[in-house]
Amino acid sequence: MDHGYRYMYEYDYPAGSGADNVFGVIMSVYLIILTLVLTFALVSYILHSIGLYTIGKRMGKEYPWLAFIPYARDYFQGELAGEIRLKDKSIRNPGIWNLVIPIISSVLGGIFIVIIMFVVGFGAVVQASGVGGLGIAALLSILLYILLLLATVALRAAQMALTVLINRQILERFTSDNMATVHAVLTIVVPLYEAFCFFVMRNREFNPVPPAVSAPDTDQAEKTE
């Protein structure tokens, strides 16, 4: 009589379970990062808008609620600075430039991307027909990419410089010239700094408005006469 026992083990693993687990972990990490980024962006937007709204209201601006509207807020922030005084020239409408430059940058980038896609597609069609136009298309794409890069860098540099000038002139109302410059530079270097800076500064006392430069000159002219 055979009293032997035979055990049969069968392991059934779903196909692709390891890949599914890895994909699930990646998606979880991605969603966490995306949630954090969106949260910080929302907090930054709200604090920045509250700061600009309060400053604009204290300055007697007619439409301070523009601080809460996308794109309109860029215009409103530039208008809070007023005319920006440079050595030989001045920027009379910084709000318009603060609104227009990013729009031009976006439109220019979109146009160049469309052109590059068209050139690459055209070159592929020509190459398929046996003419050998892919090399020409690649060369044109590289040239257009360089132009796009140069234009983007130039516009970005202009936007950063304008932002520093605008923020410096706004912050001069609350602090010294040197500290206003430091804060203005940090607003384009440190993430979230601009939002927290305007939010903290919004209720501080305004600095006394310096007398106009033309007033002493007029008085001196009257004395000379």
Question: Per residue in 44-63, pLDDT tens?
Answer: 999 999 999 999 999 999 89
CA angle 92, 97, 101 (to 5 degrees): 160
Question: Which tops the pLDDT comparison, 210 or 170?
Answer: 170
Question: Which tops the pLDDT comparison, 110 or 28?
Answer: 28
What are the extents of the domains in the chain? 22-205
> Can you give the pLDDT at residue 160?
92
124 confidence band (pLDDT: 50, 70, 90)? low
> Can you give the pLDDT at residue 221?
40
